[in-house]
Amino acid sequence: MPTRTITRIAFAALLALGAALPAAAQQKLQIAGNFASEHPSSVAVDQVFKKELARLTNNQLQVDVFPAMQLGGAKENVDAVRSGTLAITWVGAAFLSRIAPELEAVSLPFVFANRESAFRVIDGPVGDAIDKKLQDKGFISLGWMELGMRHVTNSKTPIRSKADLDGLKVRLQPNETHLNTFRALGANPVAMDVKELYSALEQRVVDGQENPYSVIAANRYSEVQKHLSNTGHFFDFIAVVASKRAFEQLKPEFQKAVRDAMTVTIAHQRKLAAEDDARRFAELKARMTYTEVSPAARAEMRKIALPAVIDGVKKRAGADLVNQVLSEAAKH
Q: Is the pLDDT of residue 5 over 70?
A: no
Give tens-digit pLDDT for 200-236.
999 999 999 999 999 999 899 999 999 999 999 999 9
Percent of the chain with pLDDT over 70: 93
Q: What is the mean pLDDT of residues 18-25?
A: 46
Is this prediction's pTM over 0.95?
no
Q: What is the mean pLDDT of residues 275-294?
A: 98
The predicted structure's pLDDT at residue 4: 47
Mean pLDDT of the chain: 93
Q: Place 10 in a pLDDT band, splitting at 50, 70 and 90.
A: very low
- Beta carbons of 289 and 281 less than 8 angstroms apart: no
CB atoms within 10 A of CB 107: 25
User: What gap in Å lies between CA 65 and CA 44, rounded to an integer?
Assistant: 11
Helix/strand/coil (H, E, C) string of the chain? CCHHHHHHHHHHHHHHHHHHCCCCCCEEEEEEECCCCCCHHHHHHHHHHHHHHHHHCCCCEEEEEECCCCCCCHHHHHHHHHHCCCCEEEEEHHHHCCCCHHHHHHCCCCCCCCHHHHHHHHCCHHHHHHHHHHHHCCEEEEEEEEEEECEEEECCCCCCCHHHHCCCEEEECCCHHHHHHHHHCCCEEEECCHHHHHHHHHCCCCCEEEECHHHHHHCCHHHCCCEEECCCCCEEEEEEEEEHHHHCCCCHHHHHHHHHHHHHHHHHHHHHHHHHHHHHHHHHHHHCEEECCCHHHHHHHHHHHHHHHHHHHHHHHCHHHHHHHHHHHHCC
Higher-pLDDT residue of 268 and 24 is 268
Q: Is the pLDDT of residue 46 over 80?
A: yes
* Residues near 134 by beta carbon (within 8 Å), at least 6 away in sequence: 96, 99, 100, 140, 141, 239, 241
The predicted structure's pLDDT at residue 233: 98
The predicted structure's pLDDT at residue 156: 97
The predicted structure's pLDDT at residue 159: 98
User: What gap in Å lies between CA 281 and CA 137, rounded to an integer?
Assistant: 37
Q: Is the pLDDT of residue 68 over 90?
A: yes
- Beta carbons of 108 and 325 less than 8 angstroms apart: yes
The predicted structure's pLDDT at residue 193: 84
User: What gap in Å lies between CA 103 and CA 212, rounded to an integer?
Assistant: 18
**Domains in the chain with CATH codes:** 3-147+237-280 (3.40.190.170), 151-234+283-316 (3.40.190.170)
Of the candidates 98, 72, 70, 121, the residue with the CA atom closest to the CA atom of residue 236 = 121
Higher-pLDDT residue of 61 and 24 is 61
98: β partners: none
Alpha-carbon distances, residue 248 vs 226, 256, 332 (angstroms): 48, 11, 39
Q: Place 16 in a pLDDT band, splitting at 50, 70 and 90.
A: very low
Q: Is the pLDDT of residue 150 over 60?
A: yes
Give tens-digit pLDDT for 77-115.
999 999 999 999 999 999 999 999 999 999 999 999 999
Backbone angles phi, psi at 291, to 5 degrees: -125, 125
Q: Place 2 in a pLDDT band, splitting at 50, 70 and 90.
A: low
Q: Is the pLDDT of residue 21 over 80?
A: no
